[in-house]
Structure 1
Amino acid sequence: PNNPTGTHVGRAAVERLLKELPEQVVVVLDEAYVQFADADDYVSGLELRGLRERLIVLRTFSKAYGLAANRVGYAIGQKDVVSYLNRVRAPFNVNTLAQVAARAALQDPEHVERYVALNRTERARITEALEGLGLRVAPSQANFVFADFGRPNEEVYDRMLRMGVIIRPMPAPVDTWLRITVGRPEENDRLLEAVRELVAS
């Protein structure tokens, strides 16, 4: 899924890209939000590795695992292609505490499953509520929604901030859109209450 829209590119388009690009091109697919994607035509690059040797798939522990402050991620690809990354990466680029946290997160897949399920439920609830208020919402496959408030987003950001809600404004050409992270149910209740107040004013 794309950041900041939350939209995705379907299997057919990804397969076509991998097949039609010149062989010397290295394709990098950033799958930071892969755990949240549930569209029927969504495909992970890991399923398509047979189509192209020069394919690297990036994953992170920042989103579904909740370890953003630790800055832990990894790349999956052919050994000779990934070896080039090792030549340019900084030494000791992941500290010991972050490595321990990532290993512990891998031992608790049920936590990720619960979080992803809650996100899907709340993402759908937020989307439906925002659309019910007349806002356009991009079809999200991530842990956030992208909504068009139809007015300068800096104004929306400032008003929401004064109501105790932080959402992220975007620059032109999407300067009426804001990215809204899906939170816990009670946080989302507060968000929707603030949006209703904003839209009514």
Structure 2
Amino acid sequence: MRVLVVDDQDLFRAGFGMILSAQPDITVVGEAADGLEAVSQAAALAPDVVVMDIRMPRLDGVAATARICADTAAKVLVLTMFDADEYVYAALRAGASGFLLKDARREELVSAVRVVAAGEALLAPAVTRRVIAQLSQRSSSRPELTRRLTELTDRERVTLRELARGQSNAEIADALTVTEHTVKTHVSSILSKLALRDRVQAVVFAYESGLVVPGRDD
């Protein structure tokens, strides 16, 4: 898989690149030191995954993520120093496929890149869900999103609620007494009907629409 590493700090950028390049199934096709360079490199190099720092000069990781997700097929894995960083939530809304703490172990970084490349978008469900829950508490549900829930069937709404709670396809299948294939079909239908990019976007939607209420649905 092709990876682009983006970080304004040379040591982090070099370190991440070295760790990933050592893997037989990963090729680091480029590096970028800020968001503008990241957007340009993503368009030119067509990476499968962009490992993206959040706080950078010229164009931050949130804005860069939005542009890359809108203009390319690349998946974005956001890196942050803090698991309760508001920028993380904004990046998830912008289309990032998940996030990882910068102090994660090297094997966690490698695993995260592989997971994102494979399309399993939601990383570290408990942590990601906590960030979304904390930040979504600051505002009430958005009425236009709540109305869009009516586009889903009852079973799809239940599937979305379980997805937002951090459940895997296997766990959802067990809870609903259906096959994993059926769950995958429901998830695909949810993403299509709601025009969402991936599972992380679905989790954000579930909280913002009020389908899942922090503190009451966990």
TM-score over 0.5 (shorter chain): no
Structure of greater relative contact order (alpha carbons < 8 Å, 6+ residues apart): 1
Q: Please, what TM-score do these two structures have when normalized by structure 1?
A: 0.30
Q: Please, what TM-score do these two structures have when normalized by structure 2?
A: 0.28
The structure with the largest helix share of the pair is 2
